[in-house]
Structure 1
Amino acid sequence: MTSLVLDIGNTAAKYGCFRGAALAEAGSVATPAELKAVAERTGAEHVLLASVAVPAEQWATQLAGAVRGQVLVFKPGTTPVPLHNAYATPQTLGADRLAAAVGAAYLLPGRPVLVVDAGTCIKCDLVTADGTYQGGSIAPGLRMRLQAMHAFTGRLPELPLPAVGEAQVLALCGTDTRTAMLSGALNGALLEVNGMIASYRAQHPGLAVALTGGDAAFFDSRLKGRIFVVSELVLLGLHRILVLNVG
């Protein structure tokens, strides 16, 4: 079966084309028309759409006639998933958080898994060994931290996120306003995530950590202990949800 999944985030809409269980192609689209073209080109039989930004239904209506099977919109509060969801308010749960948890539980079954999704926000989400999504935390991402300092002060400048190579030599002690802001935002986020991981490991022996998201490269070599880096974790989880719902 050829299937297509779409993750509409706050900064990009990423798609994944699966042939059987394998991810055959991944990329980004900017409009529903572009997604329809991908569906027609790949011969997708079924499509699952998920969004934390604009309503996914706006994209779903554009796919009429482009696929032979079903076009589904993932709603964490009602769509069946291959996990038990213990979140107290599932209707408010971000589709990307639950999809990443599904993907992590699929890749690392039978053990507790902490998903660290370093995107617009930094999310840490726990799946226990019995296959239960427990919830987690949401914090500002790297760019958001820098933007907030500029937006909520009178004189701090607006700084772009440094390139990966520049971030590799980031100083702990900033020697001017720019480097002090970068240290606070980036080193602060790193210490926060490492602290989260340490706390979860203390509570859940044998914990695995799955890292994903657009800023995963910054955290990859800086997180303590063994880390599984899975760049397309959300897409993988969406595909498992699609398979469950279409058979």
Structure 2
Amino acid sequence: MNLIIDLGNTRIRYFVFNNNNEIDSSNLDLSDWEIELKKILDSYPSISSAIISDVNGSITREIENFLSQIPLIYCSSELNLPFESKYNPFNQLGSDRIALITSSVIEYPKENVLIIDLGTCITYDILTSNAIHLGGSISPGHVMRYKALNKFSGKLPLLEPEMVYKVIGENTEQAIHSGITNGIISEVKETINYYRKEFKFLKVILSGGDAQKLSKTLKNTIFANKNFLAKGLNFILSSNINK
């Protein structure tokens, strides 16, 4: 069995795979990582290897020490991967993006794919039909935009993030919600339009915490389920742990 650990900026997700089949998962605050990890290891003593995708770095060594009896690798550009990349330097490509690109190669072989991850940041990655990653772009995510407006302005309040599709805001709060939501929608739509002109028969994948909400406003996209990234990590682990 494989243990997949997706360590994000605010949350941690665990997945247990038996070969290519996900058999368990959990999604929790970073502060609860140790209790849940112990529970998983007690429940699945057959776990024989693990992989960590880490975009945070705050508790990585603690987890590594906790898993000292299990062969462990970190998702990185140094591993054996099912795609080539034009990203330069390649080691600056985040582990989450590497996992999503890998999953796209597996799920949509020989197809042009645009992967959009709507998380803390919004990342765009373009993968060609011959499994070459050309690069992409990064912009602030939904929550980050609220924090930026508050931090870098004198009077704008810090609001609880919402998806508000009404364009015309009739007060400051509505205007902030509208500007952020519709700004993201416009950005994503325009990026998709650009890549559709450049690449024929393009598959567009949406993943991340805000993907399900935004997928309703976007035509001809594929909403990736919650374990899309985990599938990529499981493939990477299986391809590298005994290499």
Normalised to the residue count of structure 1, the TM-score between the two structures is 0.90
User: Offset at 1:145?
Assistant: 0.7
**Aligned: 1:81 with 2:85:** no
Q: Aligned ranges for residues 1-247 of structure 1 at < 5 Å?
A: 2-29=1-28, 30-32=32-34, 34-43=36-45, 44-54=47-57, 56-65=60-69, 67=70, 70-76=71-77, 78-162=78-162, 167=163, 170-246=165-241
Give the 4+ runs in structure 1 shifted more than 4 A: none
Contact between 1:116 and 1:123, CA under 8 Å: does it hold in 2? yes
Distance 1:97 1:237 in 2: 10
Distance 1:113 1:50 in 2: 22
Which amino acid is the alignment partner of residue 71 of structure 1?
Answer: L
Contact between 2:146 and 2:158, CA under 8 Å: does it hold in 1? yes
**Paired residue secondary structure (2:143):** helix
**Paired residue secondary structure (1:31):** helix
- Superposition CA RMSD, Å: 1.6
Which amino acid is the alignment partner of residue 88 of structure 1?
Answer: N
Distance 2:227 2:205 in 1: 11
Which amino acid is the alignment partner of residue 61 of structure 1?
Answer: N
Contact between 1:60 and 1:73, CA under 8 Å: does it hold in 2? no
Contact between 1:49 and 1:60, CA under 8 Å: does it hold in 2? no
Distance 1:89 1:33 in 2: 37
Distance 1:201 1:129 in 2: 14
Deviation per residue, 1:179-214 (Å, 9 max, x gap): 111111110001100111110111011110111101
Distance 1:193 1:54 in 2: 28
* Percent identical residues: 30
Unaligned runs of 5+ in 1: none
Which amino acid is the alignment partner of residue 53 of structure 1?
Answer: N
Distance 2:124 2:111 in 1: 16
More displaced stretch, 82-91 vs 208-217: 82-91
User: Offset at 1:226?
Assistant: 3.5
Contact between 1:114 and 1:124, CA under 8 Å: does it hold in 2? yes
Contact between 1:121 and 1:140, CA under 8 Å: does it hold in 2? yes
**Paired residue secondary structure (2:80):** coil
Q: How many correspondences in the alignment?
A: 237
Distance 1:41 1:87 in 2: 40
Contact between 1:146 and 1:158, CA under 8 Å: does it hold in 2? yes
